Amino acid sequence: MSFKWAYDQNGAKVPFMQEMYIATGTAIELGEVVLTTPGVGIAAVAGTDFDDPAVGIAAEAHDGATAGRQVGTAIKVLTSPSAIFAIKPRVAITATGGSTTTFVDSNLLPATDDYFNDGYIEILTCAADSSLIGRRVKISDYTGSGGTITLDETLSGALASGDTAYLCPGPLAVGAFGWDLDSDGTDIDWESSGGQALQIINVDPATFTVFCKLRLHQFGNDAAAK
């Protein structure tokens, strides 16, 4: 999955986008967070420590190899500082322990209680019970110290170290920021903290959707890198 335009806080009914310069060989994915550097053009902000302002989300791909726009010198970017983007998180978290009622991830961030309450995990792997794969389970409580997610039900098999899941936070995460992006710059990494640029605006756990905005924006409230 990747970031997709959902709505704009300024009330616009359609997304605002503009064509921006990109070097012919630069590779950008559709839905990737990007920045612009005067004299250089559009580049990715993928990877660790997403704490600098970005200019927007790529509205098209530019692989730097395929004939046509993919190797052209223009790329369409969603650049409104008030745009809200939807993401269905698909960066897996990995258990360091667990049980039939808990999923423990000591690497999960932040180490603050209740951030993920009333959210969901979607089980990707479970060595003890493969029938649980794909199951979405509500989170009743989160203990930040140690990363213990308490489930709202008792599972048919115990979760354990090495099992994996997707995570969608609940409403108490609204307003939070501090996570980095995945290596593609198209999703949130719940196990990597330090970022300051992406902020959660709303969540819809029922559809496993997180709504975010670029808290630090090159055309908005923070133009300079930290």
The domain limits of the chain are 7-83
User: What is residue 47's predicted lDDT score, i.e. its pLDDT?
Assistant: 60
Residue with tokens 């959707």: 209
What would the two tokens of residue 45 be? 């902000």
What would the two tokens of residue 213 be? 């905005």
How crowded is the C-beta side of 54, counted as CA atoms within 13 Å? Answer: 31
Q: Specify which residues 150 forms β-bridges with.
A: 102, 141
Q: How far apart are CA 134 and CA 124, in angstroms?
A: 6
Query: CATH classification of 7-83, choosing from 1.10.3210, 1.10.3470, 2.40.300, 3.20.20?
Result: 2.40.300
User: What is residue 45's predicted lDDT score, i.e. its pLDDT?
Assistant: 84
User: What is residue 222's predicted lDDT score, i.e. its pLDDT?
Assistant: 75
User: What is residue 74's predicted lDDT score, i.e. its pLDDT?
Assistant: 98
User: What is residue 46's predicted lDDT score, i.e. its pLDDT?
Assistant: 64
Residue with tokens 């792997």: 125
User: What is residue 1's predicted lDDT score, i.e. its pLDDT?
Assistant: 77
User: What is residue 16's predicted lDDT score, i.e. its pLDDT?
Assistant: 97
Q: How far apart are CA 179 and CA 12, in angstroms?
A: 28
Low-confidence ranges of the chain (pLDDT < 70): 46-48, 225-226
pTM of the full structure: 0.94
User: What is residue 48's predicted lDDT score, i.e. its pLDDT?
Assistant: 59
Residue with tokens 């550097």: 37
108 and 91 Cβ atoms separated by less than 8 Å:
no
Cα separation values, 28 from 45, 56, 60, 90, 186, Å: 10, 12, 8, 19, 10
